[in-house]
Structure 1
Amino acid sequence: MMIEEMKLQLIYRAYYPISITLSLITNILLLFIMKTTRSALLKDMQYYLLNTAICEILVSASTFLAQCRPVANKTTLAVFCYGPCKHFGPNTCFFMFALVQASVVAASFSILLSFYYRYRLLQVHVKNARSHKKTIAIFSLLPTSMLIFQLFTESDFAVVEAETRTLHPDYDYTNNSLIGFSNTKGVGGTISQISISLGVYSAPFIALYYKRKINKVITSNTSNQRIPVAYCKQLINGLLLQTMVPFVVYIPPFTYVLVSQFTGHSSLYAEYLLNTLGSFTAFINPLLTFYYVLPYRRALCKRVFKYFPSVSEEGTDITTYPAAANFHRGNTAITKV
């Protein structure tokens, strides 16, 4: 095993436990604030924020369990898995790797779904729980299809290992589970790559498209808005930043893997970097939600840090519930934000 690989393994043995701990803390805290805080400005938006939080928890959990790094060969795609999944066999690691890819795309699409909902809300103003579930189900089709295609892509692990050992004889083959796709240029592999590429590359452009449409609506109908314009713009800017974070941290290494599959050349550092950056957003997005969603930010300051900022914004009434309350009217305390 190369000295560089030994050093990287030591670094990532520390990184993954820290990453999942931060992700679980921030996302569970967000779920707690969502449950104990009600805002007239958010209303049904919580369905979509909840969907994003669940997707991010799934990203961090699957990334930790797999701890995988892809190695692009000439005809195969090898995946080294160092996580707990290796103790349950290669098929478990194969499923976890596919789940990592699908959950990252699902998390990105969940933020796009929030954009779509905000745009539809400004136009229609009428939503119900059934329509929310239907919309979320439609948007989940691409990540689900991507997961299915990956699971049914040709995956002869012996073929993958043989080519990987030939091209990379100095890699560590003892402390991990080696899985992968034995025919990346076949029908299943091609469809899987196209699905992943659509999810990764299209998200920022779709977000920019809806941002322009939303800004056009709120600037042309300011007199009829039920939601303060400044508040709406702040929320949209937060959603845009959440969409751009994966664009910045995930697309470069993912592009490198695609190029490596055609050229047959790979870099050890780029291989480790891909999965790391994919999990990075799992604890960054909840922090962005806290900052850009004003009722949650103020509820966090008051309930967790025991500090109530003096910043005020007209129309941002929030209702904060005790943690153990059953949401009865008698248990509420109205706070003017």
Structure 2
Amino acid sequence: MYREILTVFDPLVFIVSLCFQSTLIYTIIRHSPKNISTLKSILLINSCFQLVQSSMAFFSQVRYVSNLVPLELWSYGPCRHFEAFICYSTFHVLQTSSLISALTVFLTTFMKYQAAKHVHLSEKKTWVVVCTILAIILVSTGCAISLVIMQALPLEIRQKYILINQSLDEYSVIGIVDYSVLPSRINATIVNGLVIILPITCLLLRRKILKLLTGPDRSSDALHSQNRIFIQGLTLQIFCHTLVYVPIFVCSSISLVTKTEYIFPQYFIFVLPHLTTVIDPAVTMYFVTPYRKKLIIWLRLKNNKMHSIAHSTFVVSVNQ
């Protein structure tokens, strides 16, 4: 049943994500005011990696078979027609791009908290946060590269998966996740740790930002209104990321520990995070004031053109 749903759902999410992300990237590059240059960089990084995430999620369509020992990865996407090592590499690109996307949401929240204090950003504190994020990404990427080299590229392993997949049609087995291997344990610790830590940290920062914005030293009414709108968007992003990541990862972890087969998290552990690649650009376009204004202008122009065409058609019809 799940596969019938996902056969339609995965391509649909990918197409919508591609349209939304392309529009957002264009808007960020062409229509960002100079006073949000830092936010522009963060949003652009997030959007680019979400585009990668969406592409890899559609291309691989991974099923995370967590009740098997070692855990197996099955691909139902277009990449199942290629060699297993290509799909296995795609899986790690998907995981890393999802990680970077989640970290950029945290970084946006942190930068907004710093700005809400009405002080110049502490370079030391900012660099500590940025360097920590970069270190996490580099360690996770290093582990992913090590796993591809060790568990996918050796000739005997490639031949093994070619033989396994010869008799399979609907999906292909693309690799394993073996937690007895150090890089797998490190990556699992990073991913599962951040799934819990990031939402809690972002929600705490959001609470502090709201206190600062409603305090006696708040900014002018116009700026205060813009900040409130931006925080509403950030709050929506945080809650969406929490809802699509935390429950599904908890279910998957329980399945992994108990060796119980829960079908839903096996299919949807990468599908639900894929939804953030549609939600995030929509939230950014609406809740970041300069982008929302541009979006309204585009919609008005489109409506004006439609009214103009309709009026012209009416005039022609009357004249006839």
TM-score interval, smaller chain: 0.7 to 0.9
1:208 correspondence with 2:203 = yes
Aligned equivalent of 1:268 = 263
Partner Cα distance (1:72, 1:133) in 2: 38
Partner Cα distance (1:55, 1:136) in 2: 17
One-letter code aligned to 1:30: L
Partner Cα distance (2:130, 2:81) in 1: 34
State the shift of 1:233 in Å: 2.1
1:277 correspondence with 2:272 = yes
One-letter code aligned to 1:228: L
Task: Within 5 Å, give how 1:212-231 maps onto structure 2.
Answer: 212-220=207-215, 222=217, 228-231=223-226
Deviations 1:194-222 (A, max 9, x none): 11112212121111121123233333463
One-letter code aligned to 2:251: Y
Aligned counterpart for 1:179 among listed residues 169, 174, 178: 174
Aligned counterpart for 2:87 among listed residues 93, 99, 114: 93
Question: More deviation in 37-46 or 271-280?
Answer: 37-46
* Other structure's SS at 1:228 match: helix
1:145 correspondence with 2:139 = yes
Provide closer, same or farther for how the CA distance between residues 86 and 180 of structure 1 changes in structure 2, counting only shifts above 3 A: same
Aligned counterpart for 2:65 among listed residues 63, 71, 75: 71
Task: Within 5 Å, give how 1:306-325 maps onto structure 2.
Answer: 306=301
One-letter code aligned to 2:106: L
Checking the alignment, whether the CA contact within 8 Å between 1:301 and 1:307 is kept in structure 2 is: no
Checking the alignment, whether the CA contact within 8 Å between 1:102 and 1:146 is kept in structure 2 is: yes
Task: Within 5 Å, give how 1:32-51 maps onto structure 2.
Answer: 32-39=26-33, 42-51=36-45
Task: Within 5 Å, give how 1:1-337 maps onto structure 2.
Answer: 4=1, 8-39=2-33, 42-123=36-117, 126=120, 138-153=132-147, 155=151, 173-181=168-176, 183-220=178-215, 222=217, 228-306=223-301
Identity of aligned pairs, percent?
21
Question: More deviation in 115-124 or 13-22?
Answer: 115-124
State the shift of 1:263 in Å: 1.2
* Other structure's SS at 2:169 match: coil
Partner Cα distance (1:73, 1:281) in 2: 26
One-letter code aligned to 2:102: S
Where structure 2 has 5 or more consecutive residues not aligned to the other structure, the ranges are 304-320
Moved >4 Å (runs of 4+): 123-127, 131-138, 223-227
Partner Cα distance (1:137, 1:299) in 2: 34
State the shift of 1:295 in Å: 1.9
Provide closer, same or farther for how the CA distance between residues 225 and 206 of structure 1 changes in structure 2, counting only shifts above 3 A: farther
| RMSD, aligned CA | 3.3
Checking the alignment, whether the CA contact within 8 Å between 1:63 and 1:100 is kept in structure 2 is: yes
One-letter code aligned to 2:110: Y
State the shift of 1:299 in Å: 0.7
Provide closer, same or farther for how the CA distance between residues 34 and 305 of structure 1 changes in structure 2, counting only shifts above 3 A: farther
Checking the alignment, whether the CA contact within 8 Å between 1:155 and 1:182 is kept in structure 2 is: no
Provide closer, same or farther for how the CA distance between residues 231 and 182 of structure 1 changes in structure 2, counting only shifts above 3 A: closer
Q: Name the structure with the higher helix share.
A: 2
State the shift of 1:247 in Å: 1.1
State the shift of 1:227 in Å: 7.3
Provide closer, same or farther for how the CA distance between residues 124 and 278 of structure 1 changes in structure 2, counting only shifts above 3 A: same
Provide closer, same or farther for how the CA distance between residues 30 and 132 of structure 1 changes in structure 2, counting only shifts above 3 A: farther
State the shift of 1:300 in Å: 0.6
Where structure 1 has 5 or more consecutive residues not aligned to the other structure, the ranges are 166-171, 309-337
Checking the alignment, whether the CA contact within 8 Å between 1:74 and 1:262 is kept in structure 2 is: no
One-letter code aligned to 2:16: L
Partner Cα distance (2:238, 2:184) in 1: 26
Checking the alignment, whether the CA contact within 8 Å between 2:218 and 2:224 is kept in structure 1 is: no
Provide closer, same or farther for how the CA distance between residues 221 and 180 of structure 1 changes in structure 2, counting only shifts above 3 A: farther
Aligned equivalent of 1:332 = none
Provide closer, same or farther for how the CA distance between residues 189 and 265 of structure 1 changes in structure 2, counting only shifts above 3 A: same
Aligned residues: 292
How does the TM-score come out when normalised to structure 2? Answer: 0.79
Partner Cα distance (1:135, 1:226) in 2: 31
How does the TM-score come out when normalised to structure 1? Answer: 0.75
Deviations 1:79-125 (A, max 9, x none): 10122222331111111111212211211111111111122234475
